[in-house]
Amino acid sequence: MKLLRHGAPGAEKPGLLDDQGHVRDLSDHVADIAGDVLSPEGLARLAALNPADLPLVQPERLGPPVAGVGKFLCVGLNYADHARETGKEPPAEPVLFAKAVSAICGPNDDVEIPRGSDRTDWEVELGIVIGTRAKYVAEAQALDHVAGYLLVNDVSERRFQSERGGQWTKGKSHDTFGPIGPWLVTKDEIDDIQAVDLWLDVDGERRQTGNTRTMIFGVAHLVSYISQFMTLHPGDIIATGTPPGVGLGMKPPTFLREGQVVTLGAAGLGEQRQRMVQA
């Protein structure tokens, strides 16, 4: 299934994408795409519905496909070639940081360039959505706790991230720095999560091309690893790192400006489109 949320910011309704690419409303069946809805039992109940029996809608906006996100965790430097383009060595263990949940926005919402920013950057990533509570999970059972996957643009302000002191969070958490979606794709729809193509364009020019097979730490390892340090709850999102091609790694470094348009996508996970606006 491809689950989604449609409507104005703060008033999104649950829905799904049918096999013809039409949006169907789920409001009569679930309150939102969150919590127990993401469990195997909750997803099975939705999968048993006949999409043709659900109301057809033509949404003006797609919102973030998951509600009630408690943690938005990110993995840094998880592609060796991306680590090298930023001047860092590939890590021996996953590098973790947090992105404020207030950064989350819809897949096609405008992205704000923060006041005083001159290094706003792009990062296409695979996102993991947790479906059931995970604590001290073994790698062999890690995917049992995953509801599905979604596309993430881990927008970053590099000067805030690296030159303003402290950890990376302040460069990762501006409002709109977390576009997710367009939908949550349940894991049964992805044959091999470690073989997903990723791409990103800026104003129609290809900047990033990658595949999750080159991740240093794979999806199952990340879920298991993170669960050793904190309990993961339904709706938590893990952004798994970006392939090479970010603005910081270009020669010379190149960053986003007001009016530019970023488009990105991943095989089986859909596409996003964001216009850059000034905060």
Q: Which helix (H) or strand (E) holds 261?
A: strand 261-266
What does 107-170 look like in DSSP terms, one character per residue? Answer: TTS-EEEPTT-S-EE--EEEEEEE-S-BSS--GGGGGGGEEEEEEEE--EEHHHHHSSSS-GGG
Task: Supply the CATH classification number for the domain 72-278.
Answer: 3.90.850.10
Distances (CA, A) of 168 to 36, 111, 198, 206, 255: 32, 19, 24, 26, 18
| Cα gap 105→149, rounded to integer Å | 16
Show the low-confidence residues of the chain (pLDDT under 50). none
The pLDDT value given to residue 83: 76
The pLDDT value given to residue 89: 82
Count CA within 13 A, CB hemisphere, residue 212: 28
Burial of 68 (C-beta count, 10 Å sphere; 0-12/13-18/19+): middle
**For the whole model, what pTM was predicted?**
0.96
The pLDDT value given to residue 230: 98
The pLDDT value given to residue 63: 98
Burial of 80 (C-beta count, 10 Å sphere; 0-12/13-18/19+): middle
Tokens of 149: 């996957």
Report domain extents, the chain: 2-57, 72-278
The pLDDT value given to residue 208: 97
DSSP letter (8 states) at residue 42: H
The pLDDT value given to residue 86: 76
